[in-house]
């Protein structure tokens, strides 16, 4: 039993399960808006399973592909994919199982979800390659998480309305913007290993400026989402709250680079939860 618990903890560390909080709220935001409220227990369960299997595949595949890079980075050299706690074979099995699980869940959602499942897996898996030849990898990561609201609305209505696209574009800029800040930690390592990233190409100050531009666009597209979805006052409050929290995130990073983890995990985690709660309230009253 102890070995099993240890192995589960190792896989939990591998995919950083707690970071699912970034994608889960926006799947359910789209589902709540599409259903104009409660969308049923079946879609709740399938939505959670789809989000977890997709994210496990994305993170697991990234760790599998990056094990050579992670071994050369002092910040990542103790990860389970590097130090031998999880074998290459185990990672492959884990990735295949989650990919098949995601496809199976999509099959039980509806036909459009099933047809889109493999293209979605290809997109979220492609992030692992981009950093090797393009500094736009941050945007690819943003696109990967931006698929969450699209998947949510497809599950409910088997369609992709304009407001979902606007919400997703906002998510893309949100994720790309905070990934830029997080990547500042690896700027010198990326240069040394000849990896492509915006910090290694443009430096810290320009990276923070680009991140601010991305997050300004985030707020703009989320505002357009609220307008086109005919949402109410609480949805506008959600956009205002997100603008305040993103401003605070940049304040933390500008003040002290050592606050990057706090800005990345805490602020962005709360942002998704607050946004979701306010959207739920907006669709109840």
Residue 279 scores a pLDDT above 90: yes
Say what the pLDDT of residue 69 is: 84
Distances 164 to 22, 35, 259 between C-alpha atoms, Å: 17, 13, 32
Question: Average pLDDT for residues 71-84, to the nearest whole number?
Answer: 79
Position 258 confidence tier, pLDDT thresholds 50, 70, 90: low
Say what the pLDDT of residue 215 is: 97
Residue 77 scores a pLDDT above 70: yes
Say what the pLDDT of residue 230 is: 94
Compute the mean pLDDT over every residue in the chain, rounded to the nearest whole number: 87
Say what the pLDDT of residue 147 is: 92
Say what the pLDDT of residue 115 is: 94
Residue 267 scores a pLDDT above 90: no
Say what the pLDDT of residue 88 is: 87
What angle do helix axes 268-284 and 24-35 make, rounded to 10 degrees?
10
Cα separation, 285 vs 234, in Å, equals: 9
Choose the weakest-confidence range: 92-106, 183-197, 227-241, 266-280: 183-197
Which one, of 28, 68, 6, lies nearest residue 272 by Cα? 28
Residue 277 scores a pLDDT above 80: yes
DSSP states of the chain: -HHHHHHHHHHHHHHTGGGGGGTHHHHHHHHHHHHTS---HHHHHHHHHHHHHHHHHHHHHHHHHTHHHHTT-TTTTTSTTTSSSS-HHHHHHHHHHHHHHHHHHHHHH-HHHHHHHHHHHHHHHHHHHHTTT-TTHHHHHHHHHHHHHHHHHHHHHSS--HHHHHHHHHHHHHHHHHHHHHHGGGHHHHHHHT---HHHHH-HHHHHHHHHHHHHHHHHHHHHHHHHTT--HHHHHHHHHHHHHHHHHHHHHHH-GGGHHIIIIIIHHHHHHHHHHHHHHHHH-
**pLDDT tens for each residue of 11-50:** 666 667 666 666 789 999 999 999 998 999 999 999 999 9
What are the chain's domains? 2-284 (1.10.357.140)
**pLDDT tens for each residue of 172-218:** 999 999 889 888 887 888 788 888 888 888 888 899 999 999 999 99
- For residues 270 and 12, which has the higher predicted lDDT (pLDDT)? 270
Position 264 confidence tier, pLDDT thresholds 50, 70, 90: low
Say what the pLDDT of residue 214 is: 97
Residue 259 scores a pLDDT above 80: no
Distances 255 to 47, 137, 251 between C-alpha atoms, Å: 38, 26, 6
Say what the pLDDT of residue 108 is: 95
């Amino acid at each position: 039993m102890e070995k099993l618990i240890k192995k589960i903890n190792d896989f939990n560390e591998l995919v950083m399960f707690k970071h699912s909080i970034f994608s889960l709220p926006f799947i359910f935001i789209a589902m709540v808006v599409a259903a104009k409220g409660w969308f049923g227990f079946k879609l709740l369960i399938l939505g959670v399973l789809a989000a977890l299997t997709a994210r496990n595949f994305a993170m697991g595949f990234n760790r599998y592909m990056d094990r050579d890079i992670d071994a050369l980075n002092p910040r990542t050299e103790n990860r389970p994919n590097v130090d031998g706690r999880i074998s290459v074979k185990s990672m492959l099995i884990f990735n295949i199982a989650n990919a098949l699980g995601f496809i199976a869940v999509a099959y039980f959602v509806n036909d459009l979800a099933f047809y889109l499942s493999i293209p979605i897996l290809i997109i979220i898996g492609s992030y692992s390659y981009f950093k090797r030849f393009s500094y736009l990898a941050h945007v690819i990561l943003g696109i990967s998480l931006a698929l969450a609201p699209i998947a949510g609305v497809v599950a409910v209505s088997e369609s992709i309305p304009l407001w979902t696209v606007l919400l997703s574009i906002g998510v893309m800029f949100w994720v790309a913007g905070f990934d830029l800040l997080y990547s500042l930690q690896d700027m010198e390592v990326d240069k040394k290993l000849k990896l492509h990233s915006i910090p290694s190409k443009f430096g810290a100050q320009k990276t923070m400026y680009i991140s601010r531009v991305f997050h300004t666009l985030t707020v703009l597209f989320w505002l357009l989402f609220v307008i086109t979805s005919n949402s109410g006052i609480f949805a506008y409050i959600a956009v205002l709250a997100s603008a305040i929290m993103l401003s605070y995130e940049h304040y933390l990073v500008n003040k002290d680079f050592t606050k990057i983890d706090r800005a990345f995990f805490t602020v962005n985690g709360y942002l998704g939860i607050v946004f979701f709660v306010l959207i739920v309230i907006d669709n109840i009253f």
